[in-house]
């Protein structure tokens, strides 16, 4: 069982919908990450939060909006997505940002219709 919990497991949304992906960890980790993974490709980093502050935004379109309400929670708000945004969205955490072991969630498989 993973110690990083992502909900929902699957999400289908239309291009005009607004939805949110959620990620939770209770390991006391102070760095949390969002990755996007297309089929048969490696994960691509989207955002990093360190001590609840946005540390890295890898030039992600504004239709993806991250939020870190507290040290245990990480959200990804979705609005006006495109079909090409369909992918597996992975959350991860680590004790600190940088050289520390990563713990991944099982991901949310998003389909945009």
Partner 1 sequence: KNEVEQSPQNLTAQEGEFITINCSYSVGISALHWLQQHPGGGIVSLFMLSSGKKKHGRLIATINIQEKHSSLHITASHPRDSAVYICAPTGGSQGNLIFGKGTKLSVKP
Site of interaction with partner 1 (CB under 8 A): 2, 37, 41-45, 48, 55-56, 88, 90, 92, 97-107, 109
Nearest to 67 by CA among 59, 76, 58: 76
Evaluate whether 66 touches 34 at the Cβ level (below 8 Å): yes
Of the two residues 78 and 91, which places its CB atom closer to partner 1 in the complex?
A: 91
Considering the complex, state which of residue 16 and residue 59 has its C-beta at the smaller distance from partner 1.
Answer: 59
Q: Give the nearer residue to partner 1 in terms of CB position, either 90 or 112.
A: 90
78/103 with CB nearer partner 1 = 103
Beta bridge partners of 36: 44, 89
Q: Least Å distance between CB 93 and partner 1?
A: 11
Beta carbon of residue 56, minimum distance to partner 1 (angstroms, whole number): 6
Q: Which of 97, 89, 95 is nearest to 19 (CA)?
A: 89
Closest distance of CB 38 from partner 1, Å: 12
Would strands 108-112 and 10-13 be described as parallel, antiparallel, or unpaired? Answer: parallel
* Token duo for residue 11: 């999400």
């Amino acid at each position: 069982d993973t110690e990083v919990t992502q909900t929902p497991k699957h999400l289908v949304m239309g291009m005009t919908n607004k939805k949110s992906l959620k990620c939770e960890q209770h390991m006391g980790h102070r760095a949390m990450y969002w990755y996007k993974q297309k089929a048969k490709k490696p994960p691509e980093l989207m955002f990093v939060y360190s001590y609840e502050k946005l540390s890295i935004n890898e030039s992600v379109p504004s239709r993806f909006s991250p939020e870190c309400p507290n040290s245990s929670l990480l959200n990804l708000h979705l609005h006006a997505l495109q079909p090409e945004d369909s992918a597996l969205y992975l959350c991860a955490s680590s004790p600190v940002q940088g050289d520390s072991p990563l713990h991944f969630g099982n991901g949310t498989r998003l389909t945009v219709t």
